[in-house]
């Protein structure tokens, strides 16, 4: 067989699947975003970049963009920091460590939509778990209207972060166990304090794990939709709307397929702009450290 064709032949199944389910929809979304298509009955007519121009003046969209920005910042910081701490903690072998691990991993078994439903109950005013807990602890003063206009976006983020933390913990635990014990011992003999060893040996060597955890956090934050749908439906008064939710509403609620597709393209571009350079840089560092 032709030696130059062989690799392509092996890649064929992946290319076909990616083509049908990846490349084609992206291309199609971009094509639709340049039309004024309404619903699915008939293709719309070509309107150039009009949809994108309209987005710049769409207060609903700009509002959701601001909320998504908060999602990105919170998602980068909170779940990853928590996950590293938890991973360091449960990596120690102590009695009950595997039970604790299971508890931390459990949220992963739930989809974001289900997480939204559960946390919706937790945030329920007065009778919800959170309020009951605070009342029980005598901390009534801390109670706010969790899903009210001021707190809703943050409350939704907290619920989503709960699941994201579980994911990142799994990743960081795997990353920690890939660091040879000898390296940490060498650093100990070299005179490192626990803090120095963490920041100068452990953390740099967690790069492969952080690449996955950070890019996953970015993607999940930018695409967040279903948890918003099941928890708040973007409300109250749009206070928890995010771009994914806007895209869904414009497309499947208002049937403005062309307009919704333009939001989809923006989300795709934002994701690519954040994630691609990051993954590239980390892949380079990884190649240096782990071969």
Which chain residues interact with other proteins by CB under 8 A?
A: 180, 182-183, 185-193, 196, 200-201, 204-205, 285, 288-291
CB of 188 to other proteins, least distance (A): 5
* Nearer of residues 186 and 273 to other proteins, judged by Cβ: 186
CB of 178 to other proteins, least distance (A): 11
**Residue 212 exposure: Cα atoms within 13 Å on the Cβ side:** 14
| Longest alpha-carbon distance in the chain | 77
* Nearer of residues 67 and 207 to other proteins, judged by Cβ: 207
* Nearer of residues 126 and 182 to other proteins, judged by Cβ: 182
CB of 98 to other proteins, least distance (A): 19
C-alpha distances out from residue 106 to 99, 114, 164, 196, 216, Å = 11, 13, 11, 32, 18
CB of 59 to other proteins, least distance (A): 47
CB of 289 to other proteins, least distance (A): 4
CB of 61 to other proteins, least distance (A): 42
CB of 278 to other proteins, least distance (A): 18
| List of residues 6+ apart from 177 with CB closer than 8 A | 91
Please name which of 228, 239, 238 lies closest in space to residue 120, comparing C-alpha atoms: 228
| List of residues 6+ apart from 40 with CB closer than 8 A | 257
* Nearer of residues 112 and 172 to other proteins, judged by Cβ: 172
- DSSP letter at 19 equals I
* Nearer of residues 192 and 236 to other proteins, judged by Cβ: 192
* Nearer of residues 4 and 288 to other proteins, judged by Cβ: 288
Q: Which long-range contacts (CB under 8 A, 24 or more apart) does 245-251 make?
A: 245/64, 246/60, 246/61, 246/64
* Nearer of residues 150 and 190 to other proteins, judged by Cβ: 190
Do 87 and 198 form a contact (C-beta atoms < 8 A)?
A: no
CB of 291 to other proteins, least distance (A): 5
Please name which of 83, 107, 94, 101 lies closest in space to residue 175, comparing C-alpha atoms: 83
- DSSP letter at 179 equals S
Please name which of 113, 148, 101, 112 lies closest in space to residue 128, comparing C-alpha atoms: 148
| List of residues 6+ apart from 47 with CB closer than 8 A | 34, 35, 36, 258
* Nearer of residues 166 and 201 to other proteins, judged by Cβ: 201
Please name which of 111, 67, 117 lies closest in space to residue 230, comparing C-alpha atoms: 117
């Amino acid at each position: 067989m032709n030696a130059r064709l062989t690799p392509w032949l092996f890649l064929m199944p992946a290319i076909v699947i990616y083509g049908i389910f990846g490349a084609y929809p992206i291309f199609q979304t971009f094509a639709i975003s340049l039309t004024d298509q309404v619903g699915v009955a008939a293709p719309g007519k070509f309107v150039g970049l009009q949809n994108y121009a309209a987005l710049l003046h769409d207060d609903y969209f700009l509002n959701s963009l601001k909320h998504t920005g908060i999602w990105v910042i919170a998602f980068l910081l909170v779940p990853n920091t928590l996950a590293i701490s938890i991973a360091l903690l449960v990596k120690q072998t102590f009695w009950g460590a595997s039970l604790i691990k299971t508890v931390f991993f459990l949220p992963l078994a739930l989809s974001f939509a289900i997480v939204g439903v559960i946390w919706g109950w937790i945030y329920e005013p007065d009778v919800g778990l959170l309020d009951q807990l605070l009342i029980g602890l005598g901390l009534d003063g801390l109670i706010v209207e969790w899903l009210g206009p001021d707190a809703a976006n943050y409350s939704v983020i907290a619920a989503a972060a709960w699941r994201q933390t579980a994911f990142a913990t799994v990743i960081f635990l795997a990353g920690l166990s890939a660091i040879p014990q000898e390296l940490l011992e060498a650093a100990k003999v070299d005179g490192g304090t626990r803090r120095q060893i963490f920041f100068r040996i452990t953390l740099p060597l967690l790069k492969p794990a952080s690449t996955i955890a950070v890019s996953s956090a970015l993607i999940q934050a930018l695409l967040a939709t279903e948890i918003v749908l099941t928890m708040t439906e973007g409300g109250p008064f749009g206070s928890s709307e995010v771009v994914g939710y806007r895209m869904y509403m414009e497309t499947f609620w208002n049937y403005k397929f062309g307009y919704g597709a333009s939001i989809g393209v923006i989300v795709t571009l934002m994701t690519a702009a954040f994630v691609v350079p990051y993954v590239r840089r980390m892949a380079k560092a990884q190649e240096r450290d782990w071969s």
